[in-house]
Amino acid sequence: MESRAARLVQGGGGPALGLWQMEPATHDALWRMMGGDSAHADLETRVRRMTCSDIPRVRQMIGNLRYGCAMARVKYRFDPEALPDEKNPDALCAYWKRVYNTALGAGAVDAVHVAAFATAIAA
């Protein structure tokens, strides 16, 4: 949703990186959340194994698609609510807005975004 699979760096000079358009501050906060609790040690290990050692992890959001996708999923993993029905574009859009885009983000639960979810479901 964030980039429509068309941008690896946010347009307009924004900080978001990768197809999932995650901001570096969010990326770093998720790593702190994974590393600060032994309950998430397995998750941290799995995600760490998706990275390479010669590029800072946050920069890997741009070209390491497996890692970028994993970090987007980690963002949703820390939300306590269950994932919505994968066939319901309205519910998925609302969930994305609440958890990933947040109240501060430019996205909206509107016809354009719901249609994008419907297109993704149909693909």
* 53-67 pLDDT, tens digit each: 999 999 999 999 999
Same-domain status, 65 and 94: no
70 and 89 both lie in a single domain: no
pTM for the model: 0.89
62 and 103 in a single domain? The answer is: no
Q: Within this chain, do residues 64 and 88 fall inside the same structural domain, yes or no?
A: no
6 has pLDDT over 80: no
pLDDT score of 12: 80
Q: What is the mean pLDDT of residues 24-53?
A: 92
Does 88 share its domain with 63? no
Count how many domains the chain has: 2
Q: 22 and 50, same structural domain?
A: yes
- Whether the CB-CB separation of 84 and 35 falls below 8 Å is answered with no
**Is the separation of the CB atoms in 61 and 17 below 8 Å?**
yes
Which phi and psi angles does 115 have, rounded to 5°? -65, -35
Average pLDDT, the chain: 93
pLDDT band, residue 106 (cuts 50/70/90): confident
Shared-domain flag, residues 90 and 106: yes
Give 78's pLDDT tier (boundaries 50, 70, 90): very high
Q: What is the domain extent for residue 98?
A: 82-123
96-110 burial by CB neighbour count: b if 16+ within 10 A, else e?
bbeebbeeeeebebe
